[in-house]
Amino acid sequence: MNTLDISALPKEFKIISKIANGLKLKAYLVGGPVRDLLMSKRVLDLDIMVEGDTQRLARAVAKKLNAELVSHPRFGTFVLNGKGSISVDFATARQESYPKAGSLPVVKFATVEKDLSRRDFTINAMAFGISGEDKDIIIDYFGGMDDLKKRMLRVLHKKSFLDDPTRIFRLARFHSRGFSVDAETLKLAKKHINGIMNISRERVREELKAVLTEKHAEEALKFLYDLGAMRSVSRSIVIDERISGISGLRTLAEKLCLLFGGSPARAKEILNDLRFERQVKTTVNNLLSGRQKKKVISGRDLIKLGYAPGKQFKKIIDAVESSGIKSYQKAVGFVIDNFPQKR
């Protein structure tokens, strides 16, 4: 298979392709959207890479769609915020070098092949031509399609985790989605695990947040813990069976409370160290100190009742709150009577 079914892409994709062709620019759909299309998933956001004048294409598309365009000239990137939920990232094909391990990269504009070679895993290093001589062709220099079929995670080069240790968190996130990890990739992740100490605490915080948004966050956390990565997040965090219900919790603050073991002192220390926002710190402190109104029934309670974590949790909990029920036992009866499907 060397082409792609683009019917699942937003309508804006055809507009971008038409404009790129009209401007005679070589443009590509890259990374996650290509991976997701190959997995028959719906794609909402577009990542467009250009060999050449990216700004020209981005501005022309923004004008056509009457959309806001935010530019980052240093990195040759532009973000288009369209109407509704559509978002388009435009980037100039580039190489990256790292002055020291874990630092932000120095960017040098390059070719599509050089750009794809700097990415994290083979399954994210594919492109699909939307204009020019490569139009409608999948570009796969590193075996990403084969690895995707095998549901295998494999880095592109031996310095991958050394250059960018945040890739270890991404490895855990993809692993929690049912991907296996190539033996050499796992070996390299373990070898460079201490590189996490070279990145800022703010970047570690953002990676931890991303892990907690995963559908099976507990699997990602366990993977990181077994790998030894959680020691670089905080030596105070212990991953055990108590986090099994973390994916069923609604808010970041609730998940952090469970992750930090319910200790206000420990939570304060970790939240300060990771430079968490004041609002998050306040909410976590209130929850752990009992100053926040306690829900009659929680996500953890629903899991104990046999309900699988998911979007339904919010609907159930909100319905219990709206009913005015104050007793836990009555709340359980209400849930069983009104939400019999345990999905």
Please report, for residues 182, 229, 261, 325, the alpha-carbon distance to residue 191 in angstroms, rounded to integers and kept in the order given: 14, 11, 29, 53
Every domain of the chain and the residues it spans: 1-150, 299-338
Residue 190 identity: K
Contact between 61 and 50 under an 8 Å Cβ cutoff? The reply is no
Please report, for residues 247, 261, 276, 331, the alpha-carbon distance to residue 302 in angstroms, rounded to integers and kept in the order given: 12, 20, 29, 11
| β-sheet bridge partners, residue 70 | 79
Q: What is the pLDDT of residue 316?
A: 87
Quick one: tokens of 127?
């492109």
Under 8 Å CB-to-CB from 329, ≥6 apart: which residues?
Answer: none
Query: How many angstroms separate the CA atoms of 299 and 254, rounded?
Result: 10
Query: How many angstroms separate the CA atoms of 95 and 74, rounded?
Result: 13
Contact between 250 and 314 under an 8 Å Cβ cutoff? The reply is yes
Mean pLDDT of 3-30: 90
Instruction: Tell me which residue of 151, 135, 231 sits closest to 190, measured CA to CA.
Output: 231
Grouping H, G, I as helix, E, B as strand and the rest as coil, residue 282 is helix
Q: What is the pLDDT of residue 4?
A: 80
**Region 1-150: CATH code:** 3.30.460.10
Which phi-psi region, left, alpha or beta, contains residue 102 (left: φ > 0; alpha: ψ -120 to 50)?
Answer: left
332 band by pLDDT with thresholds 50, 70 and 90: confident
Contact between 273 and 234 under an 8 Å Cβ cutoff? The reply is yes
Q: What is the pLDDT of residue 2?
A: 61
Grouping H, G, I as helix, E, B as strand and the rest as coil, residue 23 is coil
The per-residue DSSP string of 199-261 comes to S-HHHHHHHHHHHHTSTTHHHHHHHHHHHTTHHHH-TT---SGGGGGGGG--SHHHHHHHHTT
Query: How many angstroms separate the CA atoms of 44 and 9, rounded?
Result: 7
Q: Dump pLDDT digits (tens) for 168-215.
A: 999 999 999 999 999 999 999 999 999 999 999 999 999 999 999 999
| β-sheet bridge partners, residue 155 | 121
Q: What is the pLDDT of residue 166?
A: 96
Q: What is the pLDDT of residue 322?
A: 80
Query: How many angstroms separate the CA atoms of 137 and 192, rounded?
Result: 36
Q: What is the pLDDT of residue 240?
A: 81
